A and B are shown apart, each in its own frame.
Chain A
Amino acid sequence: MSKILPGTKTTRMELLRLKNRMRLAERGHNLLKEKRDSLIMEFFNSIEEIKKTREEVDVALASAFSALTKTKMVMGPAEVVEFANASKVQADLRISTRSMMGVVVPVLSVEQHVPQLPYSLPDSSVQLDVMSTKFKEALKAVVRLAEIDSTVKRLAIEIERTKRRVSALETIVIPRLDATARYVKQALEEREREDFFRLKFLKEQMESES
């Protein structure tokens, strides 16, 4: 049995107000249900995408690491680290946020500026070029994955929140409003019957007196 809202007065105004609130709650409930459904749809699309991108990242990183190993073999590990430290390649990350059904998700894009001569050519091996290209691709894939990954996480959090709201409306708010409205209505009807009976009683008395 759902509880009646405390402090409800049994008046017609109150009944009207309760009915309005009921309507509002039901509309909110429907809207939230729709939101939840489309969020879940979006979520599964993103899951598909994330799987694909994840594989891409795995492949790109694996080949980048093997290129790194080869470079180390050709040039020596210390030299490679030195070149990496001195690298003039710049990666500019652009971050903006976009709203996806009220969920703020980041949008990332990366711009890589490669100077004509990123490092000293006579001192480096051709393997360094190969490795650098591979890592560039890997970085791109990583940035794309980062975007989708955080989208999915945020969507999941939002779905959870929406679900909780839907069920709160469904199992607590709406039944409670419903019960209160019924209680007010019954009380009003009861009072009406009392009035009616009182009138009848008075009329009978007046008739018997005369």
Chain B
Amino acid sequence: MVGNKIVVIGDRDTVTGFQMVGASECAIPTTPEETRSVLTRYFRDPDTGLIVITEPLAKPIESTLMELSEAPVPVILLIPDRQGSTGAYEDVLRELIRRAVGIEIKV
């Protein structure tokens, strides 16, 4: 199967940490536009298997993320940065449950 590169898009600390353990491509974008262009570039690369992006960076480009996560590969994952989780992730989960089951369930 295609894709064996791990791409990390995040702030300096996240990128440093994951580079240490073998993430092959990293980016430290500073503006939402830059984040979006970096994300699409890695997304189109057939070698990319997993894109890890930090929550604060993902927030302004949510619509693009939603669109891109339709495809099975590469996988896009949001992780909390060093400030800890912002809860953006829980909102996504709740929305998914609501759409799937039709009622809101506390997770």
Q: With a CB–CB cut-off of 8 A, which chain A residues contact B89?
A: 54
Q: Does A91 contact B (CB under 8 A)?
A: yes
Whole-angstrom distance from the CB of A24 to the nearest CB of chain B?
A: 27
B contacts with A: majority SS:
mixed
Measured in the bound complex, the distance between the Cα atoms of B24 and A166 in whole Å is 45
Interface size on A, residues (CB 8 A): 56
Query: Are A95 and B1 in contact, with the CB atoms below 8 A?
Result: yes
A/B pair count, beta carbons within 8 Å:
134
Please state if B16 and A68 are interface contacts (CB–CB under 8 Å). Answer: yes
Partner of A81, one of B16, B69, B93, B99: B16
9-residue interface stretch from A25-33, A144-152, A168-176, A195-203: A144-152
Does A68 contact B17, Cβ atoms closer than 8 Å?
yes
Per-residue interface assignment for chain A, residues 77 to 98, with 1 indicating a CB less than 8 Å from any chain B CB and 0 otherwise? 0001101110101111111110
Residue interface bits A142-186, CB-to-B below 8 A is 1, else 0: 110111011011111001100100000000000000000000000
Q: In whole angstroms, how far apart are the Cα atoms of A147 and B76 in the complex?
A: 10
Name the CB-closest residue of A to B19.
A84
Interface residues of B in 1-42 (CB under 8 A from A): 1-6, 12-13, 15-24
B21/A93 in contact, CB under 8 A: no
User: Is there an interface contact between A95 and B77, defined as CB atoms closer than 8 Å?
Assistant: no
Complex CA gap A97/B52 in Å reads: 19
Q: Cβ of A160 and Cβ of B100 under 8 Å apart?
A: yes
Instruction: Give bound CA distance, A65 to B54, whole Å.
Output: 13
Given A61-B79, A108-B49, A142-B52, are A97 and B1 also a contact pair (CB < 8 Å)?
yes
**Alpha-carbon distance A80/B74, docked complex (angstroms):** 29
CB contacts under 8 Å to B, within A65-115, are 65, 68, 80-81, 83-85, 87, 89-97, 104-106, 108, 110, 112-113
**Contact in complex: A146, B99 (CB < 8 Å):** no
| Contact among A62, A135, A150, A155 with B21 in the assembled complex (CB-CB below 8 Å) | A135
B16: A residues at CB distance < 8 A: 68, 80-81, 84
CA–CA, A22 and B99, complex, Å: 30
Q: Say yes or no: A91 contacts B82, CB within 8 Å.
A: no
**Which positions 58-77 of chain B face chain A at CB distance < 8 Å?**
69, 72-75, 77
Measured between beta carbons, the chain B residues less than 8 angstroms from A43 are: 100-101
For window 79-96 of chain B, which residues contact chain A by CB distance below 8 Å? 79-80, 82, 84-85, 89, 93, 96
Task: Answer whether residue B57 sits at the interface, using C-beta atoms and an 8 A cutoff.
Answer: no
In the complex, A85→B77 CA distance in Å? 23
Chain A 43-61 per-residue mask, 1 if CB under 8 angstroms from chain B, else 0: 1000100110010011001
Q: Are A139 and B21 in contact (CB under 8 A)?
A: yes
A-B contact pairs, 24 of them (CB 8 A): A43-B100, A43-B101, A47-B93, A50-B93, A54-B89, A57-B79, A57-B80, A68-B82, A84-B15, A87-B20, A89-B21, A90-B22, A91-B6, A95-B49, A106-B73, A113-B22, A136-B21, A139-B6, A139-B18, A139-B22, A142-B52, A152-B96, A154-B72, A160-B100
